[in-house]
Amino acid sequence: MATIKFKGNTTTTKGDIPIAGESLPDFLLTKNDLSKVSLKDFAGSRIVLNVFLSLDTGTCANSVRAFNKYAAELDNTQVLCISRDLPFAQSRFCGTEGIENAITLSDFASQQFGKDYEMEIVEGPLQGLLSRVVIVADENGKVLYSEQVQEASEEPDYQAALNALK
């Protein structure tokens, strides 16, 4: 289990997220149109996984806005913003905020992504949500960078994630 904090209170996740040098596990997530997407659908592209608790929090919304902005400047890179929010809520957020470069995906249906990537929060008031994580992988799905934000109410280190793509 990994230990993180939410507003200073300690909680734990299922385990340890993938780290540099490891291969990303496959996943099956739900797009805003309710179709399914897997890791294979992004083969040949670099990937940024921006994982967060919920679009209904300011910090999470900020991370999606920031990665949407950065995604427009990245070559051969797909930015996947993942939470357990319903696809309808994700679609509404993207429409309202003008999110066009990042792809929002949901783990609501099977909740397997959070388990396989070991970032599901397993206790406390946020139990069942995904912890704030950024993972950057190359075109072959090999992890170049990963960060599990230690205080869930804080934003990730955007610059460190982007530097991994240079």
Determine whether 81 is an active site residue: no
CATH number at residue 106: 3.40.30.10
Answer yes or no: is pLDDT of 101 > 90. Answer: no
Domain total in the chain: 1
Tens-place pLDDT, residues 122-162: 998 899 999 999 999 999 999 999 999 999 889 999 999 99
Phi, psi for 125 (deg, rounded to 5): -65, -20
Domain for residue 67, yes or no?
yes
Domain for residue 166, yes or no?
no
Q: Shortest CA distance to 62 belongs to which of 158, 126, 142? A: 158
The Cα angle at residue 160 between residues 164 and 99, in degrees rounded to 5: 90
Distance separating alpha carbons of residues 150 and 19, to the nearest angstrom:
15
Domain for residue 36, yes or no?
yes
Domain for residue 119, yes or no?
yes
Cβ atoms within 10 A of the Cβ of 75, count?
Answer: 7
Which of 4, 55, 60, 103 does the annotation list as catalytic?
Answer: 60
For residue 9, give its domain range. Answer: 3-161
Domain for residue 65, yes or no?
yes
